[in-house]
Amino acid sequence: MAAAGAPAGVAGRSKVAPSVDFDHSCSDSVEYLTLNFGPFETVHRWRRLPPCDEFVGGRGFGGLGKTMLNDLLRFDVKDCSWCRAFTTGTPPAPRYHHSAVVYGSSMFVFGGYTGDIYSNSNLKNKNDLFEYKFATGQWTEWKTEGRLPVARSAHGATVYSDKLWIFAGYDGNARLNDMWTIGLQDRELTCWEEIEQSGEIPPSCCNFPVAVCKDKMFVFSGQSGAKITNNLFQFEFKEKIWTRIPTEHLLRGSPPPPQRRYGHTMVAFDRHLYVFGGAADNTLPNELHCYDVDSQTWEVIQPSPDSEVKRSLFGFVDRLWTYFGITTVKQPPTADSELPSGRLFHAAAVISDAMYIFGGTVDNNIRSGEMYRFQFSCYPKCTLHEDYGRLWENRQFSDLEFVLGEKEERVRGHTAIVTARCKWLKKKIMQARERLKQKDGIGGNVKLCRLQPLLEVPIREAEAQPFEVLMQFLYTDKIKYPRKGHVQDVLLIMDVYKLALNFKLSRLEQLCLQYIEASVDLQNVLIVCENANKLQLDQLKEHCLNFVVKESHFNQVIMMKEFEHLSSSLIVEIVRRKQQPPVRTHSDQPLDIGTSLIQDMKAYLEGAGIEFCDIILLLDGHPRPAHKAILAARSSYFEAMFRSFMPEDGQVNISIGEMVPSKQAFESMLRYIYYGEVNMPPEDSLYLFAAPYYYGFSNNRLQAYCKQNLEMNVTVENVLQILEAADKTQALDMKRHCLHIIVHQFTKVSKLPNLRSLSQPLLLDIIESLANHISDKQCAELGSDI
């Protein structure tokens, strides 16, 4: 499967002031980008491409039409045209529900269902393997010695580490969940090998997709009988271990995983998996779901405003190839844009930075020959949570120390992060500061200097271990999911849950509750129930009691040794609950899921954190209060400055190289630093285009957004503001681009009020550009009019 990855950036040393020498390891993925000017495809735009009806009569590429097919068609993406592919040799027999993958300059077809489906004769699954060489058009069947995978159809297939990997499928009698692999480098020396899988192996299933992302194989949903779920599983190739990816960390109200489904597609691009189509509980949805492998979160991709909206698809070079249901594409010029309708058993492939969808079965069991293109976005990931997480782990620039419980264990932290995230702890910190002022006889605000001792904040209500988990949440919005079978992990999360209730952290409270409820099983339910009773966690206790009295659980639970050691009051509650279950009531009150790290840091920058500022940023002499720990967490430039030569007066002049940004652009940069915001006016993007390179941000996400903002959003309405910014920042390419727009749209630009406020040199530049644009003929015409 041809899958595009992240651009291979070359690490470059960030530009810094000569006296600053810092470690560049946290910004080693920053690549300096350059501007290019259109035309460009809109991010997240769907486009309808020419269908294949001319060749296949509306039935798609091969596969299952009026009869099973074994034709091979290709779509040339440069010419935007379909044609039959040249073939020699004996092709595979007509079939469908087979798999096809690309390795090197060949396509490999495995298995599938053959025979006459309409006469119901000679129907059988296959386990043959064929190679098609793109250069010669030659079909060759691979004959190998030794054991073969059982014949199958509707299985998953992918290529990794020079091998073809086959997983699960249907053998004609039952669904499978075995895995086989075969080397593709030399057919004379290779053979099939069954993989001994371990871990949380997916249930036997068929009609599901697989995709490889970041050296792991992913499987999502599929037909698995009564066990059909919307679980996502990942397979570690090296360890050969399966893991079910939990969804319990997805708070209620956040985007959920896609519905369970079959006949859908899933492709990998950059760090994301994209799921489209399929049959979901008797519906054919057409939303595009995106899973972020790094953050383990789902979202539904909203198509761009200018979008309107079973085969195997694969990419090779610049063509789409289709083998009786198999497809392989650069953007063809089409005027219309449409969203694809819901469908199943279609094909999907990634070519360059776009996904292509072909064919499938649409409403009323109609087989489609349509093709669509979806433009991916490929911005570097947001590192906000990771940057703050690193700050928590290394505790650099800590300015306070919590003294916990009766043992007075000590945990360090940062005033800025803690006070931004938790009002209860903020109150405790303010009380500690007040005590310090009274003790030292200091009036007004506490003066924070470089060598000031840590502020001690006593918290008698917490022990160190659960408090550290809570602190990790404040910095990252995440906590570790309990390991399966480790009851101590669950008990620790229960202690964290108790703290979250006491500290009024609604988001952490819901996260802990979801984790614990998802971890409760027959082996730990009594321990969890007793601990919930002890900690007075009533909602969790209720969940455990309901779990125990379930018909399928009750007899097993009461026969356990642990049941004999329960407190008598709990035993009575269980017995009464079994005899007379309480009436369940549903609250209409909306669930409070609290505020996120991004929301809290946004509010902090906008004024909630003003009293805790400990650094002054000077922009052209104008002061802007800020927070040292936040700046250091997000920028290696500030981290090095505060570590090596923190100014005694606590003031830092701000520039980007030799250029001082505008106040508006500087505020845009602070929004990015504090909470990862990348939306800004195009003129701000011009000032900040070099900021990631200069300030040593973890990656060039900000620069990538600035680049797209400048390339896509220079309009007649804002061209004069961007011209001024380009002139000030010496961005000559952008200045020429703006002058080009002004010259060609001068009738409109001349009516803009900002034109009169331009400097004299810029007005002269515009006049010169206009003069160069006017042809000799136009000059002659103008002269004759004088």
Tokens encoding 23: 């470690």
pLDDT computed for residue 308 by the predictor: 57
Is 782 buried (19+), middle (13-18) or exposed (0-12) by CB count in 10 A? exposed
Confidence check: pLDDT of 633 > 80 = yes
Computed over every residue of the chain, the mean pLDDT equals 85
Q: How confident is the model at residue 25 (pLDDT cuts 50, 70, 90)?
A: very low
Give 298's contacts (C-beta < 8 A, 6+ positions apart).
250, 255, 256, 257, 258, 289, 290, 291, 292
Average pLDDT over every residue of 474-501: 92
pLDDT computed for residue 26 by the predictor: 39
HEC sequence for 95-124: CECCEEEEECCEEEEEEEEEEECCCCEEEE
Element (H, E) at 131: strand 121-133
Q: How confident is the model at residue 305 (pLDDT cuts 50, 70, 90)?
A: confident
Dihedral sign computed on CA atoms, order 172, 230, 584, 556: positive
Confidence check: pLDDT of 710 > 60 = yes
Confidence check: pLDDT of 53 > 60 = yes
Q: What are phi and psi of 578, to 5 degrees?
A: -65, -40
Confidence check: pLDDT of 178 > 90 = yes
Name the residue type at position 572.
V
Query: Crossing angle of helices 732-744/760-773, nearest 10°?
Result: 60
Secondary structure of residue 478 in the 3-state scheme:
coil
Confidence check: pLDDT of 5 > 80 = no
* Dist CA 326 CA 348 (whole Å): 9
Average pLDDT over every residue of 49-67: 56
* Dist CA 345 CA 367 (whole Å): 9
Question: 5 to each of 352, 441, 626, how far by Cα in Å?
Answer: 9, 60, 37
pLDDT computed for residue 322 by the predictor: 56
CA dihedral 256, 260, 266, 272 (to 10 degrees): 20
pLDDT computed for residue 12 by the predictor: 32
Question: Are the beta carbons of 430 and 437 closer than 8 angstroms?
Answer: no
Choose among 390, 337, 348, 412: nearest CA to 634: 390
Q: How confident is the model at residue 335 (pLDDT cuts 50, 70, 90)?
A: very low
Name the residue type at position 54.
E
Choose among 268, 111, 88, 229: nearest CA to 178: 111
Q: What is the per-residue burial (b if ≥16 Cβ within 10 Å, else e) of 745-761?
A: ebeebeebeeeeebeee
Tokens encoding 457: 């904040």
DSSP readout, 186-244?
Answer: -TTT---EE---EESPPPSBBS--EEEETTEEEEE--B-GGG----EEEEETTTTEEEE
Name the residue type at position 648.
E
Question: Are the beta carbons of 54 and 47 closer than 8 angstroms?
Answer: no
Q: What are phi and psi of 127, to 5 degrees?
A: -130, 30
Strongest mean pLDDT among 586-590, 648-652, 769-773: 769-773
Question: Are the beta carbons of 391 and 601 closer than 8 angstroms?
Answer: no
Of the listed ranges 257-271, 402-416, 544-558, 643-657, the least confidently predicted one is 643-657
Average pLDDT over every residue of 678-694: 88
Tokens encoding 176: 């499978």
Confidence check: pLDDT of 310 > 50 = no
pLDDT computed for residue 63 by the predictor: 55
pLDDT computed for residue 780 by the predictor: 58
Rg, the chain, Cα only: 31
pLDDT computed for residue 783 by the predictor: 56
Q: How confident is the model at residue 33 (pLDDT cuts 50, 70, 90)?
A: low
Question: Are the beta carbons of 518 and 493 closer than 8 angstroms?
Answer: no
The strand pairing partners of 163, in sequence order, are: 160, 183
What strands lie across the sheet with 99-103, from one edge to the other?
A: 99-103, 106-116, 121-133, 139-142
pLDDT computed for residue 120 by the predictor: 65
What residue has token string 């903002």? 709
Confidence check: pLDDT of 648 > 50 = yes
Strand residues in 438-592 grouped as ranges (E): 455-459
What strands lie across the sheet with 371-375, from one edge to the other?
A: 46-49, 371-375, 354-358, 347-351
What residue has token string 């000031």? 452
pLDDT computed for residue 3 by the predictor: 34
Choose among 729, 644, 639: nearest CA to 686: 729
* Dist CA 47 CA 41 (whole Å): 10
CA dihedral 654, 657, 660, 662 (to 10 degrees): -100
Average pLDDT over every residue of 482-505: 92
Question: Are the beta carbons of 247 and 291 closer than 8 angstroms?
Answer: no
Confidence check: pLDDT of 786 > 60 = no
What strands lie across the sheet with 622-626, from one edge to the other?
A: 622-626, 615-619, 651-653
Average pLDDT over every residue of 523-528: 94
Strongest mean pLDDT among 1-15, 307-321, 335-349: 335-349
Element (H, E) at 584: none
Name the residue type at position 85.
A
Average pLDDT over every residue of 64-73: 77
Average pLDDT over every residue of 212-239: 91
pLDDT computed for residue 446 by the predictor: 45
pLDDT tens-digit readout, 567-614 = 999 999 999 998 888 877 766 667 778 899 999 999 999 999 999 999
What strands lie across the sheet with 455-459, from one edge to the other?
A: 409-413, 400-404, 455-459
pLDDT computed for residue 778 by the predictor: 62
Name the residue type at position 255.
P
Question: Are the beta carbons of 166 and 99 closer than 8 angstroms?
Answer: yes
| Omega before residue 39 within 30° of 0, cis | yes
Average pLDDT over every residue of 655-671: 91
Question: Are the beta carbons of 64 and 117 closer than 8 angstroms?
Answer: yes
pLDDT computed for residue 454 by the predictor: 93
Strand pairing category for 99-103 and 106-116: antiparallel
Q: How confident is the model at residue 11 (pLDDT cuts 50, 70, 90)?
A: very low
Confidence check: pLDDT of 743 > 90 = yes
- Contacts of residues 138-147 at CB distance under 8 Å and 24 or more positions apart, as own/partner, are 138/87, 138/88, 138/89, 139/87, 139/88, 139/89, 139/90, 139/91, 139/92, 140/89, 140/187, 141/90, 141/92, 142/187, 144/182, 144/187, 144/190, 144/191, 144/192, 145/191, 146/191, 146/192, 147/192, 147/194
Q: How confident is the model at residue 475 (pLDDT cuts 50, 70, 90)?
A: very high
Task: Report the share of the chain in percent with pLDDT over 70.
Answer: 84
Q: Residue 88 CB: number of other CB atoms within 10 A?
A: 11
Q: What are phi and psi of 524, to 5 degrees?
A: -120, -5
pLDDT tens-digit readout, 552-564 = 999 999 999 999 9
Q: How confident is the model at residue 204 (pLDDT cuts 50, 70, 90)?
A: very high
Q: How confident is the model at residue 323 (pLDDT cuts 50, 70, 90)?
A: low
Confidence check: pLDDT of 20 > 50 = no
Secondary structure of residue 698 in the 3-state scheme:
coil
Q: What are phi and psi of 429, to 5 degrees?
A: -65, -40
